[in-house]
Amino acid sequence: MSPQSKIYVAGHGGLAGGAIVRALRKAGFENLLLRTHRDLDLSCQADVEDFFSVERPDYVFLAAARVGGIHANSAYPAEFIRDNLAIQTNVIHSAWRHGAKKLLFLGSSCIYPKLAPQPMPEECLLTGALEPTNEWYAVAKIAGIKMCQAYRRQYGFDAISLMPTNLYGPGDNFDLQNAHVLPALIRRFHAAKVDGASEVVMWGTGTPRREFLHVDDLGDAAVFLMRHYSGDDIVNVGVGEDVTIRDLAEIIRSVVGYAGHITQDLTKPDGTPRKLMDVTRLLAMGWRAQIGLREGIAQTYAWFLDNEGRIRGA
């Protein structure tokens, strides 16, 4: 990529896409194609085809997707598999058909088996059963990976796939019905602090372990891989460390400044016992995450306070 390259970021209004745009601009790339969902419905094949035939971007970051936490995945399985399959199929095919030089597909750590070895290497893909609470989303993302690999093998299209761990940061979704655990806990602790509540309820046992990557680290990694990696193999992006959900809750309680108690709703599911990425492949390329968890949570909470009232779910 050069500063003159025409770059399309699909999903720029979302958490990951917004971070990719920030990383591109920080690196000096300003010739960006950005379209909101209102301007371009990526699930509509005809609209996507028209967009690519007119704009003909050189590089494509495919960060658009329907995303959500355990509740959203369980409640809307049809939307999660249908919309994500449509979006990625339309964008990948039209990018190749209209001469894009390279495409980066953003996957997810949920593609790996529920009982995958820990930390999870890229090679464990399709070696076991998926976590049932998000299998619809995972199946769609696996199909996107395979589509990128197929278009590389059959057509020589330079499509690469990046698998981020759990993301958080500015622009996150704080809707308690659809948010992932970290932003949901930030909102719950903040509301409890403001309301003077004596306790905050946490789903499940608190024992599952999760890895969290600040979204600006993800944006930096995506630009790095677009510029420096070309291959059939998928690449994990994470920090290589995890924490229990209970410990995460304690960090967030401290950052928010909430003095009440944490109680547990054991009727709610835990999800996968552990999800830690093996980032050996990415480290060998020379990239490493820079934002620590407590620092990142403090930044995210500050952003939440600055934007409360006009952010998703608040």
Residue 270 in marked binding region: yes
Residue 313 in marked binding region: no
Spatial CA neighbour of 206 closest among 271, 291, 159, 275: 271
Residue 228 in marked binding region: no
Q: Where are the beta strands (DSSP E) in 141-284?
A: 159-164, 166-168, 199-203, 209-210, 212-214, 235-237, 243-244, 261-265, 274-275
137 catalytically annotated: yes
Residue with tokens 């891989």: 225
Residue 11 in marked binding region: yes
Tokens of 230: 């070309």
Across 294-304, b (16+ Cβ under 10 Å) vs e yields eebbbbbbebb
> Residue 80, Cβ neighbours under 10 Å: how many?
24
Task: State the Cα–Cα distance between residues 51 and 53, nearest whole angstrom.
Answer: 6
Residue 210 in marked binding region: yes
Residue 102 in marked binding region: no
Residue 114 in marked binding region: no
Residue 231 in marked binding region: no
Residue 13 in marked binding region: yes
Tokens of 173: 């979704």
Sign of CA dihedral 248, 213, 116, 108: positive
Residue 14 in marked binding region: yes
- Choice among 8, 59, 112, 137 that is catalytic: 137
Residue 203 in marked binding region: yes
- Annotated binding site for substrate, which residues? 188, 203, 210, 270
Positions marked catalytic:
137
- Annotated binding site, which residues? 11-17, 106-109, 141, 164-167, 180, 188, 203, 210, 270
- Annotated binding site for NADP(+), which residues? 11-17, 106-109, 141, 164-167, 180
